[in-house]
Amino acid sequence: MTKKLIRVCCCLLLAMLMVSPNEPVLSQPARKPNVLFIVADDLRTELGAYGSTIAKTPNLDRLAKRGMRFDAAYCQYPVCNPSRTSFLTGLRPDTTRITDNNTNFRTTLPDVVTLPQLFRQNGYRATSFGKIFHRGLTMEDLRTDMDDKASWDEVRYFQTTPLGFKGEGRNLTDGKLAWCNWRAAEGTDEDQPDGQIAREAVNVLEQRAKDKQPFFLAVGLHKPHDPFIAPKKYFDLYPTESLKLWQAPKGTLADPAVAIPGGAFREAFGKFTDKERLEFMRAYLAGVSFTDAQAGKVIDALDRLKLAENTIIVFLGDHGYHLGERGWWNKGTLFELSARAPLLVYAPKMKAKGKATARLTEFIDIYPTLMELAGLKAPNKLEGRSFVPLLDNPQLKWKEAAYTQVTRGRFSGYSVRTERWRYTEWDEGRQGAELYDHQTDPHEYRNLINEPKHQATVQQLKALLRKRI
C-alpha cells in the first residue's frame, strides 16, 4: 500500500471517529410516511371515545387514545358521493358540483388530482379496498361503479357470500323501502365484504413490510350503512331491552317543515312502532361494532408488523346519521347529527397523542393535512386548511366556522357552524332559516331564528355564511 493511500485511509478513519455517535456516518434520505386511510359509511359519533354509553367500540377507542379525537369535525355534504368527492379532492361541493349519488366527479373536474392520486404520483403504492369513492354493494352498483382508476394502483371490491345472506332478519317497512332491511347473519366476518376487506388489507400490510414500498392504503368499510347486515355475534352485543329510544323534550319548538326531508322515507318512518325503532337501532349498533372490529384487525396488523412507527392513521365516518331523532332514520339533514362525524388521526411525530380537540375542522382539511405530513406539494388549488398544528397543540385558536350544505329538491340549504352557533338557510332564507345556540341547546331543540334578542347574531352569521356560498 502506497504512503499516499495510507494517508487517505487514515484521514477517512479519523473523520469517521470525529462524527457524533448520535449522527449517521452517511446521511440517509428521510423515509416517506405511510398512510392508512379508513372510511366508515354512515357512521355518526356513536363511539365510546365520543361518549356513547352503549356502543361497544374498543378498537377505535384505543385509536383515539393513541392519536387525536376531533370533537367538532364536519362533513361538507351529508350524503355519500358528495361528501367523499369533497374530502378526496379537498374541494367544497359548490366547486366539485357533485350533489348526488349518481354523478362521477370526473365529469365536472376531469383534471383534478385526488388525495390518493397525489400520493401515487409521489412514489406511493395506492391501494383501495371497498368503498372509498362512492359505490354500493349490488351487482347494479358494480356496473355503475364510480371509483376513480387514476387514483389507484390497485382497486378491489368484495361481495357477501351466500351464507352471509342467511340468518334472522326482516324489512322494517314491509318492503316499501328496499334498503330498510336488517339481518343477523350466519357465517363469520369474512362472509361479509367488510371482513374480506380487513383480511386483504392485512395481507397488503404484510407485503409492504417486506418490500418497504411506501403505501397509501385506503380501507372503505361499508357498515354501518344499510342494508343492516352483520354477523349475529354483533347483534348479540345489543339486546333490545338495553336500548333506549329518543324522545323529544317537552316544550321544544317544532322544526321548520323543510328541515327534515319528506316523501316515502318520512311516510315509512312515521309508521314505525317501537318494535321497528328498536330493531333499527340494534341493527345500526351491530354494524358499528362490526366496523370497529374490522378496523381493529388492520390497526393491530400495523402494530404487529412494526409499521405504525412510520404510518399516519386516519379514521373517519363520511357523514353523520339520525337514529330516530326528530322522527328521522337516515342522513341528509343539516342538523348536528348529520353534519358532524367522527375523525380520529394518529401521526407518529405528533406531540398531543391521546388528546382531543374541540376546534372546528372540516373534512376538506384532511387532504392538505396529509399532504403536509408527507411533505408533498399541492397539485392544484385546495379549499381546506391543514390542521397539522392542532396535532401538537389542540388548544390553538383555529377556524372561525365549518360549512355543510345539502340540496332539497329544487333548492339548497347551507349551514354554518361556529363554536357556539349553528345557522342554516334554505333557499337563501326564502324557504326558512334556523338558529341554534349550542352553549345552551347542544341538541338543537329550540330554533331561535325569530327571537328579537338574537337578530344581531343572525346578521353576523348570515354574513359568515356568504363567505362560503
Buried b (16+ CB within 10 A) or exposed e, 217-251: bbbbbbbbbbbbbbbeebbebbeeeeeeeeeeeee
pLDDT in tens, 185-241: 999 999 999 999 999 999 999 999 999 999 999 999 999 999 999 999 999 999 999
- Residue of 9, 10, 80, 443 marked catalytic: 80
What are the respective helix, strand and coil percentages of the chain, to the nearest 5? 40, 20, 45
Pairing of strands 154-156, 34-41: unpaired
Whether pLDDT at 111 is above 70: yes
Whether pLDDT at 4 is above 60: no
Residue 385 and residue 420 in one domain: no
Q: Are 339 and 84 within 8 A, CB to CB? A: no
- Helix 80-89 vs helix 366-373: angle between axes, to the nearest 10 degrees? 30
Share of the chain above pLDDT 90, in %: 85
Residue 10 bears catalytic tag = no
Residue 364 and residue 417 in one domain: no
pLDDT in tens, 318-348: 999 999 999 999 999 999 999 999 999 999 9
Per-residue pLDDT, averaged over 90-115, amounts to 96
Average pLDDT, the chain: 91
- Residue of 75, 134, 180, 322 marked catalytic: 134
The residue out of 400, 421, 437 marking a domain boundary is: 400
Q: What is the pLDDT of residue 247?
A: 86
Q: What is the pLDDT of residue 52?
A: 97
Number of domains in the chain: 2
Q: What is the pLDDT of residue 102?
A: 92
Whether pLDDT at 89 is above 70: yes
Q: What is the pLDDT of residue 80?
A: 97
Whether pLDDT at 143 is above 90: no
Residue 240 and residue 371 in one domain: yes
Residue 15: pLDDT band (50, 70, 90) is very low
Distance CA 353, CA 17 (A): 38
Q: What is the pLDDT of residue 253?
A: 62
The DSSP secondary structure of 26-56, one letter per residue, reads S--PPPPPEEEEEEEES--S-SGGGT-SS--
Domain assignment of residue 13, yes or no? no
Residue 396 and residue 415 in one domain: no
Burial tier of 184 (Cβ tally within 10 Å: 0-12, 13-18, 19+): buried
pLDDT in tens, 267-282: 999 999 999 999 999 9
Distance CA 231, CA 187 (A): 7
- Give the sheet arrangement for strand 167-171, strand by strand: 167-171, 181-185, 228-231
More reliable by pLDDT, 464 or 255: 464
Residue 180 bears catalytic tag = no
Cell of 430: 326564502
Residue 90 and residue 198 in one domain: yes
Per-residue pLDDT, averaged over 444-455, amounts to 95
Residue 254: pLDDT band (50, 70, 90) is low
Q: What is the pLDDT of residue 467?
A: 86
Residue 139 and residue 207 in one domain: yes
Q: What is the pLDDT of residue 255?
A: 61
Residue 7: pLDDT band (50, 70, 90) is low
Per-residue pLDDT, averaged over 425-442, amounts to 96
Q: What is the pLDDT of residue 135?
A: 77
Residue 137: pLDDT band (50, 70, 90) is very low
Residue 174 and residue 67 in one domain: yes
Residue 257: pLDDT band (50, 70, 90) is low
Sorted by sequence, the CB contacts under 8 Å of residue 72 that are 6+ apart come out as: 340, 357, 358, 359, 360, 361, 402, 417, 419
Domain assignment of residue 4, yes or no? no
Residue 337 and residue 457 in one domain: no
The residue out of 345, 365, 400 marking a domain boundary is: 400
Find the CATH number of the domain harbouring 353. 3.40.720.10
Residue 100 and residue 51 in one domain: yes
Q: What is the pLDDT of residue 6?
A: 46
Tell me the residue range of the domain where 418 lies. 409-469
Residue 289 and residue 415 in one domain: no
Taking alpha carbons only, the member of 40, 53, 210 closest to residue 130 is 40
Whether pLDDT at 129 is above 50: yes
Q: What is the pLDDT of residue 425?
A: 96
Amino acid (one-letter) located at 180? C
Residue 349 and residue 200 in one domain: yes
Sorted by sequence, the CB contacts under 8 Å of residue 385 that are 6+ apart come out as: 365, 368, 399
